[in-house]
Amino acid sequence: MSITWNHFINGSFAPPASSAYLDEFNPKTGDAGDKIARGNADDVSAAVEAAQVALGPWKARKPIERGRILLEIARLIRANAPAFCAKEAEETGKPLKMAAFEIETAAQYFEYYGGLAPALHGETISMGPNYHAYTTREPFGVIGVILPWNSPMNQAGRAIAPALAVGNTVVAKPSEFTSITLLQLAEMAVEKAGLPAGVFNVITGNGKEVGEPLVGHPLIRKVAFTGSVRAGREIGKIAADRIIPLTLELGGKSPNIVFEDANLDLAVPGSVMAFTLNTGQVCLAGTRCLVQESIYEEFSERLAEAVRKVQFSDGENFGLGPVTTKAQYDQVQRYYGIAQEEGARALVGGELPDKVGGWYVSPTVYTDVKPTMRLAREEIFGPVVALMPFKDEKEAITIANDTEYGLAAGLWTSNLARAHRVAAQIEAGQIYVNEYPAGGVETPFGGFKQSGYGREKGLEALHHYTQTKTTIVRL
Ligand code: NAD
């Protein structure tokens, strides 16, 4: 049965000013599902104004009290995990086990930043006996959070938990393809965890009609955006006019480098995971697999064999789900064609699978790929890997860095000195050695180059959600 969802503004559900609604779709069948409110600038204004009213009392709360509410949100996410998982799996198409992993990570963001809320502090600065100078870290005010569809709850927790922990209030815009779990989270936070009304609001709808007015609203003091380079650039222009700070978490075409001294029993399954996790719809996916010449043939055969064994999920267990949107389904197919035109050879996949219904694509391994091909340079956001050989460390680093992106990179080697040496020369925000991906809520994450700027996760994110004030007192 289809449910119709409204915005969540100032602690309650509110219908859209336009009275219009958008369909969400079930990626496992392609059929229309629930409806979400089609927001516009009036809805954005109502939410931002509510967040502005809520700001004063929220930032005046003791940090330990804010933290306690975030810890309660974490507890409630875990207590309601089966319901969140079911909805997230329905909206994104991902297997329930994958959804469970991401819902748990969302809980961990609230737990981590809830615990850190009272730990943030400033410094005293020595200026001699006649002065007392010190810094404090203050929230920006109302923060706009704009999210993509690939890991909705996980990415929401990543941005919203640190923003709230330090005393900001939030107006969040989920992807129009996967909006519902965020509405449920906001309702639960206010109704059950004791978050004051207006501190966390959600406006649904598309990028032009909701995202742009959100970034452009005069009371929004910072934007945290996760999504494509295209949208990041458009948002950056509005933010530049308004002189507000941005965190941009954008796309990637990350290298995954396998040296001849790697343990292939780990590197082969690890490299499969690097590009098939979440059906390849992961910003940090290792989609350029660079393999040392001396093991290229053996590694390619073993990788192909392992990829042939990758199963479609039954909806419950790990395995490939469908891609989440029809546009993404079309995009992966477009790249099958581009690869063929460019002369790459599919060792596995390269065409749609023999599976009826839904937006399912094949895990695909291409060989004979040149670093100059579009296949090696453009983000596909599906389970497609481009294999390329390299001679030595120097060439591996050159190919790895020959990209406009710089989100993540993987290295497989048993030589510790090489691991550190190569890691130091790769232009990327996160480097994984002998596992892909690695890290947790504690490890700062974000891009070099066109993969964005600012950092989410870890202690560092708290600095991106606060601004420093320095007070100098003449004694
Ligand atoms: P997208 O940029 O199309 O949309 C992301 C969000 O921005 C959506 O909520 C959308 O409605 C909104 N939006 C679109 N145009 C806008 C505009 N002009 N102004 C304001 N808002 C706008 O991206 P997507 O298709 O949802 O997600 C896939 C992309 O996200 C990939 O490039 C992927 O690599 C990237 N991504 C990055 C990270 C990261 O942490 N770096 C994580 C996940 C996804």
Query: In the numeric block, which tokens belong to residue 267?
Result: 């590197």
38 lines ligand 1 (CB under 6 A): no
Predicted local confidence at residue 312, as pLDDT: 94
| Residue 442 burial (CB count, 10 A) | 10
Name the closest-CA residue to atom 36, ligand 1. 227
Q: State the pLDDT at residue 1.
A: 80
pLDDT tens, residue order, the chain (475 aa): 899 999 999 999 999 999 999 999 999 999 999 999 999 999 999 999 999 999 999 999 999 999 999 999 999 999 999 999 999 999 999 999 999 999 999 999 999 999 999 999 999 999 999 999 999 999 999 999 999 999 999 999 999 999 999 999 999 999 999 999 999 999 999 999 999 999 999 999 999 999 999 999 999 999 999 999 999 999 999 999 999 999 999 999 999 999 999 999 999 999 999 999 999 999 999 999 999 999 999 999 999 999 999 999 999 999 999 999 999 999 999 999 999 999 999 999 999 999 888 999 999 999 999 999 999 999 999 999 999 999 999 999 999 999 999 999 999 999 999 999 999 999 999 999 999 999 999 999 999 999 999 999 999 999 999 999 999 999 9
Whether ligand 1 lies within 6 angstroms of the CB of 382 is answered as no
331 lines ligand 1 (CB under 6 A): no
pTM for this one?
Answer: 0.97
Per DSSP, the chain holds a count of helices (H) and strands (E) of 15, 21
26 is catalytic: no
Ligand 1 pocket check: which of 283, 325, 449 to mutate, most ligand atoms within 8 Å of Cβ? 283
Ligand 1 contact, 340 CB (< 6 A): no
CB 144 less than 6 A from any atom of ligand 1? no
- Give me the pLDDT at residue 32, please: 95
Write the residue with the smallest CA distance to atom 10 of ligand 1.
207
226 lines ligand 1 (CB under 6 A): yes
Peptide bond into 152 cis (omega under 30): no
> Residue 381: CB within 6 Å of ligand 1?
yes
Q: What is the predicted pLDDT for the residue at 243? A: 98
Q: Which of 91, 176, 209, 456 is catalytic?
A: 456
Residue 229 Cα: closest atom of ligand 1: 32
**Residue 150 is among the residues annotated as catalytic for this protein:** yes
Give the number of residues written for the chain: 475
- Helix (H) / strand (E) element for 433: namely strand 430-433
Tell me how far the alpha carbon of residue 110 lies from the centroid of ligand 1, in angstroms: 22
Told to judge if 249 belongs to the known catalytic residues of this protein, a careful annotator would answer yes
Q: Which atom of ligand 1 is nearest to the CA of 249?
A: 41
Q: Which atom of ligand 1 is nearest to the CA of 252?
A: 34
- The helix/strand/coil state of 432 is strand
Cα 205 to Cα 21, 250, 349, 410, 425: the distances in Å are 8, 20, 35, 36, 41
Going from the Cα of 29 to the center of ligand 1, the distance in angstroms, rounded, reads 23
Residue 457: left if φ>0, alpha if ψ -120 to 50, beta else—which one? left
Q: 263 C-alpha to center of ligand 1: Å?
A: 36
Ligand 1 center–CA 41 separation, angstroms: 19
- C-beta of 446 in contact with ligand 1 (< 6 A): no
**Residues 403, 406, 410: CA angle, nearest 5 degrees:** 100
Sheet of 12-14, strands arranged across: 12-14, 7-9, 200-202, 169-173, 142-146, 220-226, 246-249, 452-453
Q: Is the CB of 300 under 6 A from ligand 1?
A: no
